């Protein structure tokens, strides 16, 4: 059982965690025809927008209420109302997701009440679904913002179950914030192979997958439709990925009566088996031959790759659920997790990370601990590249943001196929760092051999 250590530094030297409202914005981007609206200053939104664009390499319709000094003191409800009206007129969204920032939450405004009054007195907003998630930057990180936004969508849009309506062969999937478009596509394909119709919330595989429309669309292009979200009560079961999705799954179950299962991760042989077994149980069907073949391919990849994992010292820094899943994956392949740094302590699974201790800190904690532990591989997002260069340790980029490599949203590291690809990626990093021996490497042994010969001994041969 890992010991949880809280860093008590006065500042984050090299921040690991990403803001809560940015996590909420990413979730809102998974809804069709949506516009995320950050209720705060322009600077807060600009930072989130730039980071999201660099990660996804896509146009992001993120907007702001542009709170200035006067609104900060006098109140920002007028800015919120003006922003909602302007967005509705100019962008014609079907959905607006509001995420609060620390600026407004610190002031202590009744933002929920303000939004309710705005929606009641403005008929222009009747055809737009507007939800609000309270996501101040000082409370939590990326996972928490994503979770709160999904809960707000469920609370505001999902309709209660009609007891007279028949159930469909539908399954609800609530992916975690670190599931990419490639990850979600694998989950959807797998659910469909069991004869199920998956409804994914949020579905960034439809809105952030690089599809180019034939005309300009100011809102998100793709994602889960409002109608699909409203009818999530018709599902047979809900599957949530990651501990941070437990709250939305429980809220959905409370509102609709649909039972839910929370899976900690989908990376690795065991976690994928759990997912496939659950789908088989829900659908009443056996796993199709395609999945069985993918599983054998993963087992073969594990056999081929374990030579390059065994005994390797791994240093990981990530959000809690991503950290937990990756640490379990590396441990299952025979590697040693010598350093584990979490962005927050908001997950009860941190104590189960296979390492001596988990530090709740920043990338400076990762760098110092990795150097002391003589780590062989750093695992974190792109902001860890400076530590990798200083320490001379290779970096495996995971999570958000990844802005110095292409294809982050299409990378798949879940399921049999994704885990196989991750094994090959890590093994190839190790292989690229191995030294190829030359005759000069063995020159130091020649005097020993000559000495043995003069002494009458016979040198050992291979």
- 57 located within any domain: yes
pLDDT score for 436: 57
The mean pLDDT value for 432-456 works out to 58
The mean pLDDT value for 371-384 works out to 96
Number of compact structural domains in the chain? 3
- 462 located within any domain: no
Residue 453 has pLDDT above 70, yes or no: no
Q: Per residue in 176-193, is it b (16+ CB within 10 Å) or e — as a string?
A: bbbbbbbbbbbbbebbeb
pLDDT score for 450: 53
**Residue 284 and residue 183 share a domain:** yes
The sheet carrying 34-39 orders its strands as 63-64, 34-39, 95-100, 129-133
pLDDT score for 457: 45
* Contact between residue 244 and residue 321 where contact means Cβ atoms under 8 Å apart: yes
Burial group, residue 139, by CB count within 10 angstroms (0-12, 13-18, 19+): middle
Residue 71 has pLDDT above 90, yes or no: no
List, for residues 82-105, the tens digit of each pLDDT value.
999 999 999 999 999 999 998 888
Tell me which of 457 and 261 has the higher pLDDT.
Answer: 261
**Residue 214 and residue 133 share a domain:** no
- Tokens 């320490």 belong to 391
pLDDT score for 459: 42
SS (H, E, C) the chain: CCEEEECCCCCCCCCCCCCHHHHHHHHHCCECCEEEEEECCHHHHHHHHHHHHHHHCCCCCCEECCCCHHHHHHCCHHHHHHHHHHHHHHHCCCEEEEEECHHHHHHCCCHHHHHHHHHHHCHHHCCCEEEEECCCCCCCCHHHHHHHHHHHHHHHHCCCCCCCCCCCCEEEEECCCCCCHHHHHHHHHHHHHCCCEEEECCCCCCCCCCCCCCCCCCCCCCCECHHHHHCHHHCCEEEEECHHHHHHHHHHHHHHCCCEEEECCCCCHHHHHHHHHHHHHHHCCCCCHHHHHHHHHHHHHHHHHHHHHCCCEEEEEECHHHHHHHHHHHHHCCCEEEEEEECCCCCHHHHHCCCCEEEECCHHHHHHHHHHHCCCEEEECHHHHHHHHHHCCCEEECCCCCCCCCCHHHCCCCHHHHHHHHHHHHHHHHHHHCCCCCHHHHHHHHHHHHHHHHCCCCCCCC
pLDDT band at 172 (very low <50, low <70, confident <90, very high): very high
Last residue of a domain, one of 294, 329, 346: 294
1-10, 281-290, 322-331, 447-456: lowest mean pLDDT where? 447-456
Task: Report CA torsion sign: 99, 262, 31, 122.
Answer: negative
Residue 176 has pLDDT above 70, yes or no: yes
CA angle 390, 396, 399 (to 5 degrees): 115
**Residue 91 and residue 34 share a domain:** yes
List, for residues 209-234, the tens digit of each pLDDT value.
888 888 889 999 999 999 999 999 99
- 305 located within any domain: no
pLDDT score for 439: 66
**Residue 346 and residue 272 share a domain:** no
**Residue 210 and residue 100 share a domain:** no
Q: Could you list the residue range(s) of the whole structural domain that residue 114 is in?
A: 20-157
List, for residues 26-55, the tens digit of each pLDDT value.
999 999 999 999 999 888 899 899 999 999
* Contact between residue 356 and residue 3 where contact means Cβ atoms under 8 Å apart: yes
- 460 located within any domain: no
Residue 437 has pLDDT above 60, yes or no: no
Residue 68 has pLDDT above 90, yes or no: no
**Residue 329 and residue 228 share a domain:** no
Of 65, 34, 21, which is closest to residue 130 (Cα–Cα)?
34
Judging by DSSP bridges, how do beta strands 170-174 and 34-39 pair with one another?
A: unpaired
Last residue of a domain, one of 294, 321, 341: 294
- 400 located within any domain: yes
Report d(CA 223, CA 311) in Å as an integer. 42
**Residue 205 and residue 227 share a domain:** yes
CATH number at residue 379: 3.40.50.1980
**Residue 152 and residue 200 share a domain:** no
Residue 237 has pLDDT above 90, yes or no: yes
Report d(CA 69, CA 460) in Å as an integer. 81
- 79 located within any domain: yes
Report d(CA 419, CA 315) in Å as an integer. 19
pLDDT score for 462: 38
- 165 located within any domain: no
**pTM, 2 dp:** 0.91
**Residue 257 and residue 369 share a domain:** no
Tell me which of 277 and 44 has the higher pLDDT.
Answer: 277
Tell me which of 44 and 280 has the higher pLDDT.
Answer: 280
pLDDT score for 187: 97
pLDDT score for 442: 56
Residue 449 has pLDDT above 50, yes or no: no
Q: How far is CA 16 from CA 316, 378, 382, in A?
A: 11, 13, 10
The mean pLDDT value for 118-147 works out to 94
- 333 located within any domain: yes
pLDDT band at 460 (very low <50, low <70, confident <90, very high): very low
Average pLDDT, the chain: 91
**Residue 84 and residue 59 share a domain:** yes
Last residue of a domain, one of 269, 294, 319: 294
Residue 461 has pLDDT above 50, yes or no: no
Report d(CA 264, CA 27) in Å as an integer. 19
**Residue 327 and residue 289 share a domain:** no
**Residue 152 and residue 29 share a domain:** yes
The mean pLDDT value for 291-296 works out to 97
């Amino acid at each position: 059982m890992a010991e949880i250590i809280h860093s008590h530094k006065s500042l984050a030297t090299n921040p690991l965690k990403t803001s809560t409202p940015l996590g909420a914005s990413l979730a809102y981007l998974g809804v069709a025809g949506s516009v995320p609206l950050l209720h705060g200053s322009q600077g807060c939104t600009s930072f989130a927008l730039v980071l999201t664009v660099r990660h996804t390499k896509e146009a992001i319709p993120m907007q702001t209420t542009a709170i200035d000094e006067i609104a900060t003191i006098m109140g920002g409800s007028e800015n919120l109302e003006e922003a909602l009206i302007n967005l509705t007129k100019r962008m014609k969204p079907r959905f607006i997701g509001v995420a609060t920032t620390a600026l407004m939450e610190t002031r202590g405004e009744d933002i929920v009440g303000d939004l309710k009054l705005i929606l009641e007195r403005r008929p222009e907003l009747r055809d737009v679904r507007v939800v609000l998630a309270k996501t101040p930057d000082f409370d939590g990180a990326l996972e928490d913002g994503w979770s709160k936004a999904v809960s707000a969508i469920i609370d505001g849009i999902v309709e209660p179950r009609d007891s007279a309506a028949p159930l469909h062969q539908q399954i609800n999937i609530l992916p975690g914030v670190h599931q990419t478009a490639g990850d979600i596509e694998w989950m959807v394909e797998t659910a469909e192979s069991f004869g199920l119709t998956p409804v994914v919330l949020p579905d960034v595989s439809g809105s952030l997958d690089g599809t180019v429309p034939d005309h300009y669309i100011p809102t998100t292009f793709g994602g889960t439709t409002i109608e699909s979200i409203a009818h999530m009560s018709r599902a047979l079961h809900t599957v949530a990925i990651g501990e941070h999705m437990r709250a939305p799954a429980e809220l959905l179950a409370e509102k609709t009566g649909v039972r839910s299962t929370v899976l900690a991760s989908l990376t690795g042989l065991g976690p994928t088996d759990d997912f496939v077994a659950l789908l088989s149980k829900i659908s009443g069907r056996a796993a199709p031959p395609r999945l069985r073949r993918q599983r054998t391919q993963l087992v073969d990849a594990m056999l081929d790759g374990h030579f390059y994992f065994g005994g390797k010292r791994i240093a990981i820094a990530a959000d809690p659920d991503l950290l937990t899943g990756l640490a379990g994956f590396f441990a299952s392949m025979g590697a040693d997790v010598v350093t584990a740094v979490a962005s927050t302590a908001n997950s009860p699974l941190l104590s189960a990370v296979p390492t001596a201790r988990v530090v709740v800190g920043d990338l400076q904690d990762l760098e110092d601990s990795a150097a002391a532990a003589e780590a062989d591989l750093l695992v974190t997002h792109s902001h860890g590249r400076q530590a990798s260069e200083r320490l001379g340790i290779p970096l495996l980029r995971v999570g958000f943001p990844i802005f110095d490599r292409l294809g982050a949203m299409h990378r798949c590291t879940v399921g049999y196929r994704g885990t196989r690809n991750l094994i090959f990626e890590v093994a190839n990093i190790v292989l690229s760092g191995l030294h190829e021996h030359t005759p000069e490497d063995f020159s130091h042994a020649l005097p020993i051999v000559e000495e043995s010969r003069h002494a009458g001994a016979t040198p050992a041969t291979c």
